Amino acid sequence: MADAREVDRPRKGAVHAVSATDAPLLAVDALSVHYGRAAKAAVDDVSFTISRGDRVGLVGESGSGKSTLASAILRILPPAATVKSGRIELDGENLLALKPAALRSIRSTRIARVPQDPLGSLNPVFTIGRQLSDVVSAHRKLSRRERTTLVEEALRQVGIGDAAVKRRSYPHELSGGMRQRVMIAMALLNHPDLLIADEPTTALDVTVQAQVIELLRERVENSAMTLLVISHDVGVISELCTKVMVMYGGRIVEQGSAADVLTRPTHPYTRSLLDAARGKVTTYSPEVVA
Ligand SMILES: Nc1ncnc2c1ncn2[C@@H]1O[C@H](COP(=O)(O)OP(=O)(O)O)[C@@H](O)[C@H]1O
Ligand SMILES: [Mg+2]
């Protein structure tokens, strides 16, 4: 498909930059985030790195701090949250120090996200074509016709075949699965270096979850995208990821290759998470193990 190659082409220099350096794409160092006056940190002294081409799964139970960590990287923490300490570097640049204009310029071109709730992330009063087109024109000067071509190609790439018709749809006219396909198209439009997907299928019908995961896997692999995907679902992580980080109580308690962590977990919490995924009920109680 000629149009697919067109959109997949990496940005100039990106490939050479990869081989020229082993420096991580994303480096999070001693990051702590608190909400309000809570004594306990939601993200507690977290450090890790992500290299280009890694597909990292962040797994952990609800409330373990996964979304807070993702929001800190994306600089979309709610007002109640404070970054108490730490650094977040993208290609050596401290994201926490970026001013709003600089942040706008890296959003979607360097870091993009697939949200949990596609409906809440789309504007109900504009067509999806218009919203996709706006994402392109925020960063590139193109004619209306060029933008339409890009938008239609992007929609086709996420499996929306009748793109010329569908781009005129309003969000409410599409199914949940279709809307999430649109969000994936939107996230990939400007070829970001890092894609962050926070529970990308949680809001979808079970029947379409597998299709959306497969689409995400195919798009990420085809464009050699670096991925950080968050899920409480070990199945989703094992489908998509080469590496896994396990979060518990605001901390990363285990990390390693997906093959190691998912087959030979060392931390008791990871073991109980995997048992739960297999339908075996075990509970992890830190008091007992500590
Ligand atoms: N807006 C908020 N205000 C106050 N506390 C919050 C807020 N969002 C999350 N928290 C708290 O921070 C902790 C981590 O939450 P979160 O990052 O959403 O976890 P996860 O995504 O793993 O479910 C939880 O204890 C949660 O109650
Ligand atoms: Mg969450």
* pLDDT exceeds cutoff 60 at 288: no
Q: What is the mean pLDDT of the chain?
A: 89
Q: Whose CA is nearest to atom 24 of ligand 1?
A: 63
Whether the CB-CB separation of 30 and 237 falls below 8 Å is answered with no
pLDDT grade for 287, boundaries at 50, 70 and 90? low
Q: Whose CA is nearest to atom 25 of ligand 1?
A: 63
**Which residue ranges form the domains of the chain, and what is each CATH number?**
2-289 (3.40.50.300)
Q: Whose CA is nearest to atom 5 of ligand 1?
A: 35
Nearest CA among 28, 30, 21, 8 for reference residue 52: 21
* pLDDT exceeds cutoff 90 at 31: yes
Q: Whose CA is nearest to atom 27 of ligand 1?
A: 63
pLDDT > 90 fraction of the chain, expressed in percent and rounded:
74
pLDDT score for 205: 87
Residues in contact with ligand 1 by the CB-under-6-Å rule are 35, 42, 60, 62-68, 78, 80
- The edge-to-edge listing of strands for the beta sheet with 251-257 is 111-114, 194-198, 226-231, 55-59, 243-248, 251-257
pLDDT > 70 fraction of the chain, expressed in percent and rounded:
91
* pLDDT exceeds cutoff 80 at 27: yes
pLDDT grade for 4, boundaries at 50, 70 and 90? very low
Question: Looking at the CA of 64, which ligand is closest?
Answer: 1
Q: b/e for 177-204, b at 16 or more Cβ within 10 A? A: bbbbbbbbbbbbbbbbbbbbbbbbbebb
**Distance, CA 152 to ligand 1 centroid (Å)?**
37
Best probe residue, ligand 1, of 32, 35, 59 (max atoms within 8 Å of C-beta): 35
pLDDT (tens digit, 9 = 90+) per residue, 149-203? 999 999 999 999 899 999 999 999 999 999 999 999 999 999 999 999 999 998 8
**Distance, CA 2 to ligand 2 centroid (Å)?**
38
Q: Whose CA is nearest to atom 4 of ligand 1?
A: 35
pLDDT score for 21: 60
Mean pLDDT confidence for 208-216: 91
pLDDT (tens digit, 9 = 90+) per residue, 167-177? 999 999 999 99
Nearest CA among 21, 28, 60, 47 for reference residue 229: 60
* pLDDT exceeds cutoff 90 at 51: yes
| Of 4-8, 58-62, 100-104, minimum mean pLDDT range | 4-8
